[in-house]
Amino acid sequence: MERNVIGIFDSGVGGLTVLKELLGLLPNSSYIYFADTLNCPYGPKGPSEIIRLSTAITDFLIKQGCSIIVVACNTATAAAIDYLRANYSVPFVGMEPAVKPAALASKTKSIGVLATKGTFEGRLYQETTSKYANNINICYQIGSGLVELVEQGKSDSCEAKKLLKKYISPMLKKDIDHLVLGCTHYPFFIPALTDILPKNITIVNPAPAVAKQTAKVLAEMQKPTDCNNGEESFVQFYSSGSTETLNTLVSKIEQDTGTLFRNKSFKGHILFL
């Protein structure tokens, strides 16, 4: 059975929150992560531009031997995953809007959603909201500036907390009891959000569910999830720009989880996009 290599891409470092969950669930798989830091953020970009970038990254990941690709970016999922699935034979796993679990679990019938403009306008978000949140008050907020703070390594800064308070305050007035993180960058703000939010508010991070879906797809493909045919697994990181923040956050994840990534390597300034 051939080596199992999972490709992951995001507009930047946000997809590391998904990689973290994947490593916990499938620790012996090999991973290739691509951060499009040169073109980050994706939120303000139009669908055609995101499709172009996602296609270029997909071509790169397939050339590197990836047999499945996780689109670890809510905006790219919204804009490009239908196109990618229609034009490539490898399976894709995207970021599902976490409105459903929040809406079903809400007792106050009021939830907050923090996401990018592209995610809110996407088909998946619209369909999920229409199907599961008809009787729920949803407080929408575009998280302008948040992705940039994570990319700058400032997720726990005073600047970040000030901006988060600005975005969260109107939601608190609407009595939300769940806050949905609609961007893979946003889980880096969980420590700050935990300080800001009242204890009764549940933070909904979709990354664990995406990792479980990836494992399910691999099982359906009859791909190994616990070995690499006797070969040692690896985690490779590529970036269209600098790898400085990528390297820093990878080290932080290793410290937080107490697990060192196997055979990790970094390569930046992949200028093919």
CATH code for the domain in which residue 36 is found: 3.40.50.1860
- Could you report how far apart the first and last alpha carbons of the chain are, in Å? 33
Q: Are residues 54 and 107 in the same domain?
A: no
Q: Which domain holds residue 31?
A: 5-95+208-267
Q: Are residues 237 and 185 in the same domain?
A: no
Dihedral angle of Cα 108, 212, 192, 189, to the nearest 10 degrees: -110
For residue 69, give both structure tokens. 């690709």
Please indicate whether residue 227 is annotated as part of the active site: no
Please indicate whether residue 73 is annotated as part of the active site: yes
For residue 250, give both structure tokens. 């990878």
Using CB atoms within 10 A of its CB, is residue 96 exposed (0-12), middle (13-18) or buried (19+)?
Answer: middle
Q: Rounded to whole angstroms, how far apart are CA atoms 6 and 89?
A: 15
Q: Are residues 160 and 68 in the same domain?
A: no
Please indicate, yes or no, if residue 170 is contained in any of the structural domains.
yes
Domain boundary among 185, 205, 225: 205
Q: Are residues 132 and 172 in the same domain?
A: yes
Domain boundary among 189, 205, 221: 205
Q: pLDDT in tens for each of the 273 residues of the chain?
A: 456 899 999 999 999 999 999 999 998 899 999 999 999 999 899 999 999 999 999 999 999 999 999 999 999 999 999 999 999 999 999 998 789 999 999 999 999 999 988 888 888 888 888 888 888 999 999 999 999 999 999 999 999 999 999 999 999 999 999 999 999 999 999 999 999 999 999 999 999 999 999 999 999 887 655 555 556 889 999 999 999 999 999 998 888 888 778 899 999 998 765
pLDDT, one tens digit per residue, over 177-235 is: 999 999 999 999 999 999 999 999 999 999 999 999 999 999 988 765 555 555 688 99
Please indicate, yes or no, if residue 223 is contained in any of the structural domains.
yes
Domain boundary among 205, 222, 246: 205
Q: Are residues 230 and 213 in the same domain?
A: yes
Which one from 40, 66, 139, 183 is the annotated catalytic residue?
183
Q: Are residues 79 and 135 in the same domain?
A: no
Structural domains of the chain, count? 2
Which one from 40, 66, 73, 139 is the annotated catalytic residue?
73
pTM of the entire structure?
A: 0.91
Q: Are residues 254 and 196 in the same domain?
A: no
Q: Are residues 104 and 196 in the same domain?
A: yes
Provide CB contacts within 8 A for 255, sequence distance 6+. none
Please indicate, yes or no, if residue 273 is contained in any of the structural domains.
no
Q: Are residues 105 and 174 in the same domain?
A: yes
